[in-house]
Amino acid sequence: MDFSTLIDDKSLKSKQKTEALCAWLLSNPEKIDNLIGFALNSKGTAKATCIEAIEFATKKEPGVASSSCLQFVSKTLLEKSPRVKWESAKVIGNIAHLFPSELKEAIKNLLLNSENNGTVVRWSAAFALGQILKIKPGLNKALIPIIESICEREEKHSIRKIYLDALNKMTI
């Protein structure tokens, strides 16, 4: 697939581009690194669209993700674009259970995003951290007090609820 042509196609809406990339990825999971490579060299909307396609694909089939995918989205959590941050967090939430021993960077960056001014960024960080808590990555003992502290200061009930649900469903 020619990613540039798809992304630059003005006749397609953003959602159609995301759906096309997702369908391609689900049909070609072994080529996820090709999409990641394109996203790495893209900016703004193009990068976010690629990550959103990975998010849709990993929601349907988490196994399309690779360790390099986890590394990529762990790094993109630190980008300036809120959409890139929240899509990256959702990918991590979808795939964390596949890479329980490789989550340290993701957790560190998700915790940073839990302090973000954007509600959707904080919601997505809560989703990913909640999924991590549920899989017992060996980090829960240290992570639980941090999550409890976040819950105490989180102003949005919907975000606090995600953390509380995860705390209630996890095992130490």
pLDDT of 171 reads 54
| pTM of the full structure | 0.95
For residue 51, give the nearest of 105, 14, 11 by alpha carbon.
14
Residue listed under structure tokens 């240290």: 142
Question: Hey, what amino acid is at 17?
Answer: K
pLDDT of 89 reads 98
pLDDT of 170 reads 73
Question: Rounded to whole angstroms, how far apart are CA atoms 34 and 50?
Answer: 11
Q: Which CATH superfamily is domain 3-169 in?
A: Leucine-rich Repeat Variant (1.25.10.10)
Question: Rounded to whole angstroms, how far apart are CA atoms 46 and 16?
Answer: 13
- Domains of the chain, residue spans: 3-169
Mean pLDDT by 10 residues, the chain (172 residues): 95 96 97 97 96 98 97 98 98 97 96 97 98 83 93 95 91 52
- Quote the Cα angle for 27-19-119, to 5°: 125
Would you say 25 and 35 are in contact if contact means Cβ atoms under 8 Å apart? yes
pLDDT of 137 reads 67
